[in-house]
Amino acid sequence: MSKQQIGFVQIVKMAFGFFMVLVYLGMAALFASNFFNWSATPTWTAVRWFFVVVFAAYGIFRGYREITGTHTYGMRTYDKQEDEEQYGTYNDFIKQKDNDDEKK
């Protein structure tokens, strides 16, 4: 995969992330303005404001993760150091191969 393709995928993921932030904050605004015309009983008002807080908090949290780049979209972030500790480096592989050849 070329760097241009990787860049395009990252841009699409970022655009989708910001779109979802707008969706969550928009839902919070819709619930806050009682756009869905829920009845004004105290129970439904409390439920409506609960959803305002949840959508707004998650929208802000997701926006923060999007801006800082800590989102993973369900995938584990790549950790080069962890891979090197677990599998070794290419140089370790070459040294091991040279040692195996010398033993023969």
Number of domains present in the structure of the chain: 1
Give the Cα separation of 71 and 79 in Å (integer).
14
pLDDT tens for the chain, residues 1 to 104? 444 455 677 788 888 999 999 999 999 999 999 998 888 899 999 999 999 999 999 999 999 998 887 776 655 555 667 666 777 777 777 777 777 777 66
Is there a domain that residue 86 lies in? no
Is there a domain that residue 89 lies in? no
Global confidence as pTM = 0.64
Is there a domain that residue 9 lies in? yes
Give the Cα separation of 61 and 28 in Å (integer).
13
Is there a domain that residue 52 lies in? yes
Is there a domain that residue 93 lies in? no
Domain of 17 in residue numbering reads as 3-78
Is there a domain that residue 24 lies in? yes
CB atoms within 10 A of CB 24: 19
